[in-house]
Structure 1
């Protein structure tokens, strides 16, 4: 199946396998199997160096706040 559609990522392959075969397989298992058979290479990482100081400087205490949250409600999933 992996040779038929080589452009699929391990995540996409795991989802397609689960949907077509009816058996769950994790993304990490797919990645390990593809890597063991030299069908995928390790991902390239871009190394980013930390800055020596903040780009957006504050003028007083509690002037800059940041919040980040994500909530997706998917009907019929989980």
Structure 2
């Protein structure tokens, strides 16, 4: 997986539920948004060939998950 640019269609970030509320509260109390996001977010990727999801665990290691056969590439793409 390549991760050397912005706006990648195979990459997203997730925030563990246990960290979400605390980050939101710190932001509301005047904390810097980007600093909080860097602190709590973890990257995730989708392989364009096999559609597997790769999520970063709390130690920074990638863990993979195999989706159902009907899952297509692009589930991490954003829509505005």
**Same-fold call, TM > 0.5?**
no
Q: Which has the higher contact order (CA 8 A, sep 6+)?
A: 2
Q: TM tier, shorter chain?
A: under 0.3
**TM-score scaled to structure 1, two decimals?**
0.25
Q: TM-score, normalised by structure 2?
A: 0.24
Structure of larger gyration radius: 1
